[in-house]
Structure 1
Amino acid sequence: MSHAAQIVDDRAASTGSLSGAEEPAGHPHGVRATARIRATYNGRATTLPQLRSDGPFHLRRMRTDGNSAKVGIIGAMSAPLGGDRLTIDVTVEDRALLEVTTAAATLALRGPTAAPATYDVRLTAGEHAGLRWLPRPLISAADSNLRQTCHVELASTARLLLREEQILGRANEDPGHLVSRLLVHRAGRPLLDQQTAYGNPEPGWDGPARLHGHRAVGQLLLVDPKMGTRHDPVLLRTGSRDGCAVLTPLADGRALLATAVAPTSSVLRELLDEALAHALRG
């Protein structure tokens, strides 16, 4: 049995014995794992010649209609914990169509070390390819420490729908420390480079100029070369108690970014869905 597989077994066993407020003990050295997905177009439909599960990531083909492919990511153990180094690498080759989702929310927990966990997502889409990256929320539990990055490389004719949702703390608890960066290149040029940081020791992260007490944050990015070039910013729901979202065009002219804050995950999803519907109408 490989070292990574042994860690998976040990952590899965510890997770199965949890009760109440107990947390998984994890592994003192953390998990190093890279899962890979590669989608290609064979002239009739999208196929998946590479579907490599690793560490906490179990990849499963899902049934779809038409010529697209869909992959579900199932968590095989508690992750990410402090010290983990996790990567998902997705490549959608020319003319392929792929959707990736997760079976459940990702829960960032404290680990046996104070070192931060890293969770890197690398997305690449070729010419006339379509990629939908639609994971369930990331939950930043108390005392966790996570650095999350999403690096996207798009060809000039590629289409992308990307959704990120982050829940800051579970019920009646403060969040951990979460730093998240989204970096997108289109046709080799920067399209978006955005970083957010929440939880202690970030100064003012919960103040009125940022979250104002909300605990659900998210964004939705739509990139489509066929999109009209004229879009005005749109503010969705101005009541701060119920959350709000803003839909803005990016300088590229072929991309729209929605950013939302909300009191709960369900309201956050409603806001992002509303922003997407507005973007598609435009």
Structure 2
Amino acid sequence: MPTVPGVRATARIRAIRAGDTTVLPTLVGDGPFDLRRARPHGSQARVCILAAMSAPLGGDRLRIDATAKHGADLHITTAAATIALRGPTTAHATYDVHLRLAEHARLHWLPHPLISAARSNLRQSCTIDLAATARLVLREETVLGRAGEGPGRLSTRLTVRRDGRPLLEQQATFGPGAPGWDGPAVLADHRAIGQILIVDPTLEHRPPHARLLGDDPATGQAVLTPLAGPALLITALAPDTLRLRRLLDAAHPIG
């Protein structure tokens, strides 16, 4: 069987608690992943993922594994948007993220937007396993197509388990060949989509109320939904990234 061209690369991040701070005994990346320690914020360790090359391209197999051990406080972001491109083959690329949080750990997963460029084909997944006392803040933003072009094909899946039990499972497909993705029941004319997921044990005692943000559907709207567990999900649609970020920040500002 012929080998599909593409890069195989994995980034590994491990954070542990050391006294009053969090340290990073494992910070390893290859291929397009260049991992940098950023300036700590209090007891929080911060990591920025830089792109050392264009990725993901067709045929690439990319993976990020990040673990916050007991009591660790970790913040992960990217230096710029991630752009999915076609590359030398029409074969799909994969971009898999696995996040693991031990007891009393905290993780902020705040990458810059993912842009699905025309003729790209990407399958993205994010799998998260949290201990019962762990806390998570996740923000994801996606742009379907660059300026003046349509999107590629993008499939996304988010799986969240807390204390070994399912908390959230969602899957979506956009772009050429995906049924109804640009119809009125899904995105209509919007091309920027995003969400914030917050998992925090204190929400069991003060669950949020569902609410809608944004007066005009044409300029974007967001909805805050409490989940069946100590968690809330904010989902937003907008014509562009600027309006999308404004909606998400209005729903829940993240520093």
The CA distance in 1 between the partners of 2:206 and 2:176, in whole Å, is 40
What's the CA shift for 1:232? 2.1
The CA distance in 2 between the partners of 1:154 and 1:202, in whole Å, is 32
Matches within 5 A, 1:196-207: 196-207=172-183
Residue aligning to 2:65: 89
User: Which structure has the larger Rg?
Assistant: 1
What's the CA shift for 1:231? 2.5
Q: What per-residue deviation string (whole Å, max 9, x for no partner) do you get for residues 235-279 of structure 1? A: 011311110000001111x100001000110111111111114x9
The runs of at least 4 consecutive aligned structure 1 residues that moved more than 4 Å come to none
User: Which amino acid counterpart does residue 72 of structure 1 have in structure 2?
Assistant: C
Residue aligning to 1:111: 87
Does residue 1:248 correspond to 2:232, yes or no? no
Residue aligning to 1:80: 56
Residues 68, 102 of structure 2: 8 Å contact kept? yes
The CA distance in 2 between the partners of 1:239 and 1:111, in whole Å, is 38
Residue aligning to 2:42: 66
Indicate the percent of aligned positions where both proteins have the same amino acid. Answer: 60
Residues 39, 47 of structure 1: 8 Å contact kept? yes
What's the CA shift for 1:224? 0.4
Residue aligning to 1:186: 162
Residue aligning to 1:36: 12
What TM-score does the superposition give when structure 1 sets the normalisation length? 0.87
Q: What per-residue deviation string (whole Å, max 9, x for no partner) do you get for residues 143-183 of structure 1? A: 00000000000000000000000000000100000000000
The CA distance in 2 between the partners of 1:77 and 1:28, in whole Å, is 19
Q: Structure 2, unaligned stretches of length 5 or more?
A: none
Q: What per-residue deviation string (whole Å, max 9, x for no partner) do you get for residues 119-157 of structure 1? A: 000000110000000000000000000000000000000
Does residue 1:52 correspond to 2:38, yes or no? no
What's the CA shift for 1:184? 0.2
What's the CA shift for 1:196? 1.2
CA RMSD of aligned residues (A): 1.3
Q: Structure 1, unaligned stretches of length 5 or more?
A: 1-26
The CA distance in 1 between the partners of 2:224 and 2:209, in whole Å, is 8
